[in-house]
Amino acid sequence: MFRTRRPIPLAWRNLVHDPRKLAVTVGGIGFAVFLMFIEMGFKNALIDSTVEVVQRVNGELLLVNTARYALPSRARFDRQRLWQARQHPAVAGGYPVYFENLYSVLKKVDEKGFPIRVVAFNLNDPVFVSPDIERHVDALRAPQTAIIDTKSKRKYGLAPITERTVPQQTVELADKDIKLVGTFTMGTDFANDGNIVMSAANFARCFPYMNPGEDPLNQIDIGVIQLHPNSNLKAVQRELAALLPNDVHVYTKQEFIDQEKAFWNRSTRVGYIFSVGMVMGFVVGVIICYQIIYSDIADHMGEFATLKAMGYKNDYFVRLVIQQAIYLSLFGFIPGLIFSWGVYHLLASMTGLLLRLTFWRGLLVLVMTTTMCIAAGCFAMRKLVSADPADLF
């Protein structure tokens, strides 16, 4: 009996027969993959870093001034809205959170200062889900104390910011002496180069002008609403919206995060620039891959002519080129992924941004890379598919 021979993996052999050429090919596609990863990384860092403080909030609903279009906005509302929200039978607690990032200039004594975002809350309120913050609550009860984000920029003059080196350092915040009693990790964003957390009482001492002539803590930035277990989230949201005056908006936590992401992604030039950069990386990849596949087809035109003359149909060559494009996408994606992962870690340590390389983001770039290579292959093989075998010799 005759054994059926396995088909020759021509697409594979075309790629690997010349290791030097393969290395150059992988480098070109890997560069395009790296471009897409970097642009996507900065775009997602812009969004992830901005909403990280909200991600850590321990509540199902958030009260926000209706005029507050984004977190850096200074639109505040009266604390009495929290007391009103607490009257709802499904509400287990309502807690204020305070932000300041304009007048909160941080500096070492006799050195130049820079604005830093200050986050404050009543220390008895279960506002944040953050072990870093929770373990310093007792230390923060002392007057004129705060903890600082380990990812805060070097320009504050405190680097390296670690749990061992920072405690007991005295700095000036809004021209008030502040003792740093510990650290936490949150991350910077495109609006804030660092973060400080302190008690609401210390916040009032540092920024007494927040509400001129009245208690500075009467005006709050975000109200955190916690519900009793098994409460209907959407129903309570609607009922609170009807109960409260129209100077505040009631968001679910996820709605507020989504709104913040949409603002930075669509309403600012930064989000647009990184989106365009990602598209440009894709276009560069198509061009590089097209040149590689077209060159390979040209180099083997005689062999393809022979196969056509032997009776091989166009669908064979289509499958061949698509297989080769898929191999190229995988070969280029792996080094691009590894290099991007290393650069992500380097940039995260240098900038404090949350550059996260997740599975789904990696999968998105892999799909884009495969699409890019297949599209380039389809452009490159048009001459081969349409040509007569006699014209190819």
Cα separation of 392 and 306, whole Å?
A: 9
Query: Which one is predicted more confidently, 18 or 294?
Result: 294
At residue 167, the pLDDT reads 74
Mean per-residue pLDDT, 295-308: 72
At residue 39, the pLDDT reads 86
Q: What is the pLDDT of residues 44-65, one digit of tens each?
A: 887 888 888 999 999 999 999 9
Q: What percent of the chain has pLDDT over 70?
A: 90
> Which helix H or strand E contains 62, and what residues bound it?
strand 61-65
Phi, psi (degrees; rounded to nearest 5) at 26: -60, -40
- pLDDT class for 233, splitting at 50, 70, 90? very high
At residue 199, the pLDDT reads 95
At residue 393, the pLDDT reads 52
Q: Is pLDDT at 390 greater than 70 in this prediction?
A: no
Mean per-residue pLDDT, 183-192: 86
> Which one, of 141, 152, 140, lies nearest residue 108 by Cα?
152
Looking at every residue in the chain, the average pLDDT score rounds to 85
At residue 4, the pLDDT reads 46
DSSP, collapsed to helix, strand or coil, labels residue 50 as helix
Q: Is pLDDT at 338 greater than 80 in this prediction?
A: yes
Alpha carbon distances (Å) from 82 to 196, 220, 284, 304: 24, 10, 53, 76
At residue 392, the pLDDT reads 53
Q: How many residues can be counted in the chain?
A: 393
Q: What is the pLDDT of residues 111-145, one digit of tens each?
A: 888 999 999 999 999 999 889 899 999 999 999 99
Q: Is pLDDT at 334 greater than 80 in this prediction?
A: yes
Alpha carbon distances (Å) from 384 to 109, 149, 329, 371, 378: 73, 60, 21, 21, 10
Contact present, 16 and 146 (Cβ < 8 Å): no
At residue 7, the pLDDT reads 58
Domain ranges of the chain: 10-50+268-392, 67-246
In this structure, how many other beta carbons lie within 10 angstroms of the beta carbon of residue 382? 11
Q: Is pLDDT at 98 greater than 60 in this prediction?
A: yes
Contact present, 156 and 106 (Cβ < 8 Å): yes
Q: Is pLDDT at 157 greater than 80 in this prediction?
A: yes
Mean per-residue pLDDT, 62-69: 92
Q: Write the DSSP string, 131-185.
A: HHHHTTHHHHTSTTEEEEETTS-GGGS--S--TTTSTTEEEEETTEEEEEEEEE-
**Poorest-pLDDT segment among 2-6, 92-96, 184-188:** 2-6
**Poorest-pLDDT segment among 5-19, 54-68, 286-300:** 5-19
